[in-house]
């Protein structure tokens, strides 16, 4: 039986801009500087979040925002940050401890950075609600500091732990718990941040690849590790977004896939990318306010399959049965040539092993090898 069209979001009374808004900032290394541009766009639109939540660098910037740091100051700090301010090899530990070494970089530089940016207070002392996503390394469980019962700890301690990418920086102790980067389990904690909210604004900067397959092995351990981490974060993000049943969400994915996770010379470009992506996504804020669920912005997309390239592997059908099917000669075809998608849809396209599936925004020329678009899924033809 042919699946019917995906039902649109239900209608609800119009919401007030800024009322009951949760801002969720994902991890992604220095790509997270794009979050600063998003904050500027929100300020220009007069949208003040009620809740700030984040993972890794998203937690750092969310904490700065919750502490009322001006966006201009954030931009200046981003531009001034140098590699030596963050990465200092633990040379003595490498020599003496070898395999027992908890991380290759020293804790102090990252710890000092967090202390210089984050308010020197506990979560309970903050005037704004802040949620910092981490993973309890001992128990292997997610723990979000700032939730009820988890507020009487220093914000800086939780933020350091959220930024402590395993293997790169030592775990951080928070209330006696050894904690690491929350992206290990949930890089974009929209579920917990959405409770009691009317709208969620989520910013994803960390789930897109930074190198092509033919390059990855030539770039060494760090590049391979970060590609694996990126892939893991992206996969973990798919399920909650695909089955999203929370309040209306604006999902912002700045075009930053071409920039390395730890590029210290492109702060302005990253900030601008975040600003442009946010302004475009927020142009549909009213539509989001008029709905009580769904992911926005939404756009009509044209799906085609190059039959000469299609090998009939059925992977696209397994991943997206509501969009794709197999015809009577074993070739993949879309159920309908046009579908309405948000930025969370269409991940199956990049999994095609022969790059046979193409996606085109209706009314625009076909896109080739563009992994991210301001209004379309982060896809390359595939």
- Active site residues per annotation: 56, 181
Which residues have a Cβ under 8 Å from the Cβ of 280 and sit 6 or more positions away?
Answer: 297, 374, 375
**267 contacts 83 by C-beta, under 8 angstroms:** no
Long-range contacts of 63-67 (CB under 8 A, 24+ apart): 63/117, 63/118, 63/119, 63/130, 63/132, 63/155, 63/159, 64/117, 64/118, 65/23, 65/39, 66/119, 66/126, 66/128, 66/129, 66/130, 67/118, 67/119, 67/126, 67/155
Which residues have a Cβ under 8 Å from the Cβ of 301 and sit 6 or more positions away?
Answer: 338, 339, 340, 341, 346, 359, 360, 361, 362, 376
Dist. CA 139–CA 177, nearest whole Å = 9
**88 contacts 109 by C-beta, under 8 angstroms:** yes
Dist. CA 363–CA 157, nearest whole Å = 49
What pairing do the DSSP bridges indicate for beta strands 357-361 and 338-342? unpaired
Q: DSSP secondary-structure letter at 233?
A: H
């Amino acid at each position: 039986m042919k699946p019917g069209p995906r039902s649109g979001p239900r209608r609800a009374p119009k919401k007030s801009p800024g009322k009951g808004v949760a801002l969720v900032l994902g991890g992604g290394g220095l790509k997270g500087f794009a979050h600063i541009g998003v904050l500027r766009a929100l300020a220009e639109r007069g949208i003040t979040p009620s809740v700030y939540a984040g993972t890794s660098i998203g937690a750092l910037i969310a904490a700065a925002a919750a502490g009322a740091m001006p966006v201009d100051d954030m931009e200046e700090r981003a531009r001034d940050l140098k590699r030596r301010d963050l990465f200092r090899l633990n040379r003595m530990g490498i020599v003496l401890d070898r395999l027992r070494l908890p991380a290759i970089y020293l804790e102090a530089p990252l710890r000092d950075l967090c202390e210089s940016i984050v308010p020197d207070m506990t979560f309970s002392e903050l005037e704004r609600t802040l949620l910092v996503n981490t993973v309890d390394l001992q128990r292997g469980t997610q723990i979000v500091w700032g939730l009820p019962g988890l507020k009487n700890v220093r914000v800086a301690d939780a933020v350091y732990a959220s930024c402590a990418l395993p293997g790169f920086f030592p775990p951080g102790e928070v209330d006696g718990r050894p904690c690491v980067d929350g992206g290990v389990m949930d890089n974009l904690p929209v579920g917990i941040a959405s409770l009691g909210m009317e709208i969620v604004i989520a910013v994803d900067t960390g789930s897109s690849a930074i190198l092509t397959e033919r390059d990855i092995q030539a770039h060494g351990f760090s590049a391979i590790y970060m590609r694996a981490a990126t892939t893991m974060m992206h996969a973990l993000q798919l399920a909650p977004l695909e089955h999203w049943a929370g309040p209306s969400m604006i999902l912002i994915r700045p075009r930053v896939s071409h920039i390395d996770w730890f590029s210290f010379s492109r702060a302005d470009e990253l900030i601008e990318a975040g600003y442009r992506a946010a302004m475009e996504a927020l142009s549909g804020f009213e539509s989001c306010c008029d709905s009580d669920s769904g992911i926005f912005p939404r756009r009509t997309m044209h799906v085609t399959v190059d039959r000469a390239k299609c090998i009939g592997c059925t992977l696209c059908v397994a991943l997206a049965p509501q969009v794709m099917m197999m015809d009577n000669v074993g070739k993949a075809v879309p159920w309908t040539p046009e579908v309405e998608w948000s930025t969370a849809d269409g991940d199956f396209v990049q999994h095609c092993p022969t790059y046979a599936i193409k996606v085109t925004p209706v009314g625009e020329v076909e896109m080739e090898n563009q992994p991210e678009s301001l209004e379309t899924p982060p896809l390359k033809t595939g």
